[in-house]
Amino acid sequence: MSVPNKELSNGNTIPQIGLGLWQVTDEEQFAAAFKAAVKTGYRHFDSAQAYHNEDMLGRAWTSSKLKREDIFITTKINISHFKPKTLHETFEESLKKLQTDYVDLLLLHFPVTLLRKNAWQTLEALQTSGLAKNIGVSNFTIRHLEELKTYANQIPVINQVEMHVFLQQPELVKYCQNNNIQIEAYSPLAHAHIMDNETVSKIAEKYNKTYAQVLLRFLVERGFVVLPKSVTPKRIEENFNIFDFSLDEQDMKDLAKEDLDKRFCWSPVHIP
């Protein structure tokens, strides 16, 4: 099954589903998950300096039969590495660990107060030098994105945020759409905290799909890139198989009503 690509504001593209790699730090488990993902059809892999598995991703993809140009690799700058000199040095280390001379997407992991301006300008320089094909941010609110406009030479192509049926962030979504910023949804399954929602269950039964597939399809229908995380081959495959059905208008309306504004990850809302 082929994965749709989403076009970014700079004309580049990103696969609409990627394998989230947060908390996958066991080498054997990582290798098995990567192998299962590649077999299923994943070509987009989302890592970060803070995940402590960039080296595992580097070993996994280089030992596969994939060509570098056939995969999409994301990493993120750790919040303790935002000072320009440290950012440069640690990003060079990331490239070595990932065994590549560029990343497809480089993100600032969080809107660190006082440091994000220089950090963003450093990312712009890395993109100009060809070390990052695309640059973006993660966990930025409207306020942070508005501030970024005052010093950025270019707007982020991606804002990677917690997004799921139970945290829909409509104001942020509208803002990003109006500013041509692609939303990338991490924790799209809400860390499996709410797996008994009646509306989701009924829709899953209607399409003979799983609960998780409906959660993911809702985000895909909204045009987001989704990053489900799993190390279980069966679930890795299940999460991928969401492009052979569509939710109808009523399904989307019903699911929109299930928004609880509920976060299960770190919140940037009160960061100045």
Q: Is there a domain that residue 214 lies in? A: no
Range of the domain at 128: 13-193+219-232
Q: Is there a domain that residue 262 lies in? A: no
pLDDT for 70: 96
Q: How far is CA 37 from CA 30, 31, 107, 240, 243, in A?
A: 10, 10, 23, 9, 16
Q: Is there a domain that residue 135 lies in? A: yes
Query: Does residue 1 carry a pLDDT above 90?
Result: no
pLDDT for 2: 80
Q: Is there a domain that residue 270 lies in? A: no
The model's pTM is 0.97
Residues 95-149: tens digit of each pLDDT: 999 999 999 999 999 999 999 999 999 999 999 999 999 999 999 999 999 999 9
Residues 8-17: tens digit of each pLDDT: 999 999 999 9
The catalytically annotated residue of 42, 51, 151, 207 is: 51
In the residue annotation, 175 being an active-site residue is answered as no
Q: Is there a domain that residue 145 lies in? A: yes
Residue among 40, 31, 175, 54 nearest 103 (CA): 54
Q: Is there a domain that residue 151 lies in? A: yes
Number of domains observed in the structure of the chain: 1
Q: Is there a domain that residue 257 lies in? A: no
Return the CATH number at 87.
3.20.20.100
Q: Is there a domain that residue 149 lies in? A: yes
Mean pLDDT throughout 59-87? 97
Query: Does residue 151 carry a pLDDT above 90?
Result: yes
pLDDT for 122: 98
142: alpha, beta or left, given left = phi > 0 and alpha = psi -120 to 50? alpha
